[in-house]
Amino acid sequence: MSTLKQELESRIKETTRWETRRQFAADGPNMRKLWVLACMDERLPVDRALGICADSVVCGGDAHLFRNAGGIVTDDAIRSAMLTINFFGTREIVVLQHTGCGMLSANGHDLEKALRDKGIDVDNIPIDPSLPELSLEKGAFAKWIGMMDDVDQTCIKCVDQLRNHPLIPKDITVSGWVWETEFHRLRAPDPNAPTRAVSQPTAASMNVKGKQPPRWS
């Protein structure tokens, strides 16, 4: 049986290692060697949905958590995944999206028009002001926004994009999941899932007219 002194010394050592783990690079990964790509929606409880504690020192810091609109694969998502996997010891990727997502709630073409109506020249936008080499071709802005027609199909597509990207090693485990916001439960992405009939998994189910720009088709 250990003494309290030994327990305290061990706890302090573990905490110090946690606080300084980035200096150990691949030898100092997060607790589950996990990178999570999730939607930024405040109704998506990442820790509850996945049964982890992603970003709290109290729980141990299970994962690197990257959130954006829709939880979709973008250039910056790839950049972050590349860094955590190739240099910080991560061995698994989880993509987490959800029903009733704001990225299903409007048509990308309509959003582009709304910005043009505000006088914004969307054909000449600095995607990253610090990296002018990163740019969009004329007419690609609506596609760049990343609105979805179907969250299940988009989740499956994002998983495929990550699995096949040259910056993501082939031995990395990649999976995708859909959180049903209406029922507070997790399921695998499936365009034929029976609960889709009583949730909001598509743009059409949110009364959006017309097909989205073809980013996920």
Give every CB contact of residue 45 below 8 A, 6+ residues apart in sequence: 179
The answer as to whether 136 is a domain residue is no
Number of domains composing the chain: 1
The answer as to whether 161 is a domain residue is yes
Q: Please, what's the b/e burial string for 135-162 (b: 16 or more CB within 10 A of its CB; e: otherwise)?
A: eeeeeebbbbbbbbbbbbbbbbbbbebb
The answer as to whether 189 is a domain residue is yes
pLDDT of residue 118: 97
Alpha helices (H) along the chain: 4-19, 46-50, 75-87, 108-117, 141-145, 151-163
pLDDT of residue 42: 96
CATH number, domain of 175, equals 3.40.1050.10
Which two structure tokens, joined as six digits, stand for 109? 């073409």
**How many whole angstroms separate alpha carbon 34 and alpha carbon 56?**
14
4-13, 20-29, 80-89: which range is least confident on average? 20-29
Which tens digits make up the pLDDT trace of 111-142? 999 999 999 999 999 999 999 999 999 999 99
The answer as to whether 215 is a domain residue is no
Domain containing 41: what range? 4-107+147-206
Which tens digits make up the pLDDT trace of 27-55? 889 889 999 999 999 999 999 999 999 86
The answer as to whether 190 is a domain residue is yes
The answer as to whether 216 is a domain residue is no
The answer as to whether 74 is a domain residue is yes
Categorize the per-residue pLDDT at 56 as very low, low, confident or very high, splitting at 50, 70 and 90: low
Percent of the chain whose pLDDT exceeds 70: 97
Which tens digits make up the pLDDT trace of 67-98? 999 999 999 999 999 999 999 999 999 999 99
Amino acid in position 161: Q
**How many whole angstroms separate alpha carbon 60 and alpha carbon 56?**
6
The answer as to whether 212 is a domain residue is no
Give every CB contact of residue 189 below 8 A, 6+ residues apart in sequence: 97, 151, 152, 153, 155, 156, 159, 176, 177, 178
pLDDT of residue 182: 96
- In this model, does residue 209 exceed pLDDT 70? yes
Categorize the per-residue pLDDT at 63 as very low, low, confident or very high, splitting at 50, 70 and 90: very high
